[in-house]
Amino acid sequence: MSQAIGQAPFGKSFDSYPPYYGSDLQLTYANNQSKFTFWSPNAEEVYLHLYNEGEGGIPYQTLKMVRNNPSEPWHITVGGDLKGRFYTFQIKYQGKLLNETQGAWANAVGINGNRAAVVDLKSTNPTGWSSDKRPPLKSPNDIILYELVHRDMTMSPTSGIKHKGKFLAWTEKGSKNGQGQSTGIDHIKELGVTHVHLLPSFDHASIDEKKLDENKYNWGYDPKNFNAPEGSFSINPADPSARIKEFKQMVQSFHKNGIRVIMDVVYNHTSSAAGSAFNLSVPEYFYRHNPDGSYSNASGCGNETASERTMVRQYIVESVKYWATEYHIDGFRFDLMAVHDVETMNAVTKALHEIDPSIFVYGEGWSAGDSPLPLAKRATKANALLLNDVAVFSDDIRDGIKGHFAKETEKGFATGAPNMEESVKFGIVASTQHPQVDYSKVNYSKAPYAKKPSQTISYVSCHDDLCLVDKLRASNPGASENDLIKYNKLAQTIVLTSQGIPFIFCGEEIFRDKKGVHNSFQSPDSINSINWNNKAKYNELFKYYQGLINLRKKHPAFRIPTTEGIQKHLKFIDAPAGVVAYQLSGNANGDSWKDIVAVFNGNTKAAKVSIPAGKWIAIIKDGKINEKGISPQNGGVVEIPASSALLLKR
C-alpha cells in the first residue's frame, strides 16, 4: 500500500511508532562480537551489509536482521572482531529495497561518510584523556565566547601553523606570524576568552574528502552524520579512528590551555532529505511536511526536522549527551533553534546538566522561514521565558549598535544613527526587565524575554552576514581607518561591558575583514582566512580587546547573575541624544569597585554628560584602556569625545 509523502504507512500516525530508549542503537562493539541494533518501525525487512572498504567494493557478507515483535528495533549479533570493517543497513519499505545507509546513529564513518565504521572508541582516546577536565567555571555569567572557524584561523601562510585547517592545528604550541607574535591557540589564550565556539565540526556533506587538494570551503551547515567528526578537518579522512582521536586531541589541548569548547550543532535540517540517513532508516518520520505532503522548510535549506516527535527529540538529546561524554564538549550552540520546540530544548539542558551543570546551551532564537510547528511551541527568542537555562542571541543589541544586518549602508548607534539608545540599553541589561528601558522604542523586541542575564548573548557580528569591519566600511563610506577603529572599539566596549554573555567573532580583535562578502560560506580562503600579520599592524586594537576581556574577568559588576541584581545596582544616567550612560553602584555583585560609570557616545561629535559628583579614575577613555587607571576625573559635567566610551571607577 502506498501513501503520500509525509504520512506514516498503512494509514497510521507517526505517533503510533513505538519509541526505543535503549543506549545500544547502531553498534555495540566488543573484540569478540559486534551487536547491531536498528530502529525502523515501518521497515518490512532490514539487511546488514559488511564491507572491508570505506567505499567501493561489494559486501563480503550480507545478513538479514530480525526483531522479536514490531515494538522492538531490528538486531543481529556478528561474532569475531570486526574492528576496522565497515557496514551499512538497507531496509525494504513498501515492497522495495531502498538505498543502503550508514545509519542515523553512526558515530564512526568512512571517507565521505557513506558507510559506518566499526571502531573501538577506547582506542581513539589520546594519552591522558581519562584525566582531561573541563576548565573551572563558577557561573555562566563568567563566559566570554569566541566564535572560531577552523580554516579562517589557520589557513593563511601568515599563521605559522603546520596542520592548516585541521583539528590538530589547535594542538600546536608556539605558532607565530611573520613578526614573531602568537597565533593559533596561543593567541586565543593570550586574548583571554573562556570558551571557543567551533563552527560545525560534525560530518557534513559539502566537502569531498577525497579531493581535499581542491581546497573547497564551506562552513558546514549541511549535516550528514551528526555523531561523527568531519573528515576534511582530519589529516587522514579515510581512517575512521583518526578523525575521532584528532578531535579529542583538539579538545584536550583547549582544556589544557584553560579554554572550554562549544560545538555548533545543526539538528534543524539535513543536507538533503531524500537520501539522508534519516529517510533511508525511517522514511519521512524525522521531517515536518506541508499539508500537500511536501517538505516544510523553516531551515531555508529544503527541509526541517520534527523535534516534537518522540524519537527525533530522543535523537537530539542522546546526540548532545554523546558529544558531552565521549568528546568532553562543554556546550552547544543550536543553529536556527526556533525550528525546534521548547520541550526538546528543555530536555537537552536537563540531560546535559545531569552530566555537568556547567555545560552551556544557547542558540539562534529564530528560523529561516515559517513552520507547521505552532509558534507558541517554537524555541524562539520571544519564548525564551519558557526555556530553562537556554540562552539566545540578541539581534536587538547587534543591530542597535552597528545597523541592520542585511542593509549594509545602514548605520547603528556606534556610527551615529539616531534613536538607537533604547536598543543599546536593552542589550546592556541583557534583555531583562528594567524600569528605565522604554521597550516601545527597542528596535525588535517590545518586551524583555530573558528570565536572567545569562540567557542573552550580546554581540555585534558573527560568521553570518558582513563581519564588523566590513559593515563599518559599508555604512561609513569615506571614513578613515582611524575612524573605523574608533567605531570598532566603541561597539565591542558596549558588548563586553554589558550584562549577559559576550560573543566575539574570530579575528575582529586584529581588524579582520572578508573583503565585503556578506555570507562567505563558499568563498575561497583568500576571502575567509585571517591575515595574521594584522596582529602587528593592529596590535593596539588587539591589546584594547585584551584589556576589555581582562576588565570583564576582573570585575563581577559586569557579570551580575540575576535580573533583581541588575535592577538594584544598575541605573541609567540622563544623557543627550546619541549617548547612553549608566552607573553600577554598591559594589555590584561583590565588585572591589564601589561605583562604576560607563558613558557611550555614539555621536560623530563630542557630547557632554553630567556624572555623579566626586573623585573618579578613568579606566577607559578616548580609545585607551587600563584596568589600573588612566587618569583622575572629577564628577559633574564631562565631555566625551566623538565615537568613544568613557568608563570611570571609584
Tell me what the mean pLDDT of segment 77-83 comes to.
98
C-alpha cell at 254: 583547549
The tens digit of pLDDT for each residue in 117-138 reads 999 999 999 999 999 999 999 9
In this predicted structure, what is the pLDDT of residue 4? 43
Tell me what the mean pLDDT of segment 281-304 comes to.
96
Given a cut of 60, whether residue 5 has pLDDT beyond it is no
Tell me what the mean pLDDT of segment 484-491 comes to.
98
Rounded to whole angstroms, the Cα distance separating 404 from 412 reads 8
Given a cut of 80, whether residue 110 has pLDDT beyond it is yes
Torsion of CA 221, 227, 231, 234, to 10 degrees: 110
Given a cut of 80, whether residue 202 has pLDDT beyond it is yes
| Domains of the chain: residue spans and CATH | 9-124 (2.60.40.10), 570-649 (2.60.40.1180)
Q: What is the mean pLDDT of the chain?
A: 96
Q: Please, are residues 243 and 126 in contact by the beta-carbon 8 Å criterion?
A: no
3-state secondary structure 233-276: HCCCCCCHHHHHHHHHHHHHHHHHCCCEEEEEECCCCCCCCCCC
C-alpha cell at 535: 596582529
In this predicted structure, what is the pLDDT of residue 159? 98
In this predicted structure, what is the pLDDT of residue 3? 41
Contacts with 586 (C-beta within 8 Å, 6 or more apart), sequence order: 568, 569, 594, 595
Q: Please, are residues 287 and 279 in contact by the beta-carbon 8 Å criterion?
A: yes
Per-residue CA distances from 440 to 178, 284, 437, 480 (Å):
51, 43, 9, 35
Tell me what the mean pLDDT of segment 404-432 comes to.
97
From the centroid of its chain, how far is CA 474? Answer: 26
Given a cut of 60, whether residue 6 has pLDDT beyond it is no
Tell me what the mean pLDDT of segment 47-67 comes to.
97
Given a cut of 90, whether residue 2 has pLDDT beyond it is no
The residues carrying an active-site annotation are 335, 364
Tell me what the mean pLDDT of segment 91-120 comes to.
98
Rounded to whole angstroms, the Cα distance separating 571 from 24 reads 55
Given a cut of 80, whether residue 331 has pLDDT beyond it is yes
Angle between helices 184-191 and 539-554 (to 10 degrees): 50
Tell me what the mean pLDDT of segment 537-542 comes to.
98
In this predicted structure, what is the pLDDT of residue 12? 58
Tell me what the mean pLDDT of segment 630-636 comes to.
97
In this predicted structure, what is the pLDDT of residue 13? 83
Tell me what the mean pLDDT of segment 567-594 comes to.
98
Q: What amino acid occupies position 277?
A: A
Buried b (16+ CB within 10 A) or exposed e, 617-628: bbbbbebbbebe
Q: What amino acid occupies position 258?
A: G
In this predicted structure, what is the pLDDT of residue 1? 30
- Cut 0.95: pTM above it: yes
The tens digit of pLDDT for each residue in 7-40 reads 554 345 898 999 999 999 999 999 999 999 999 9
DSSP result, 585-629: -SSGGG-SSS-EEEEEE-SSS-EEEEEEEEEEEEEEETTEE-TT-
List, in sequence order, every beta strand (DSSP E) within 359-398: 360-363, 390-393
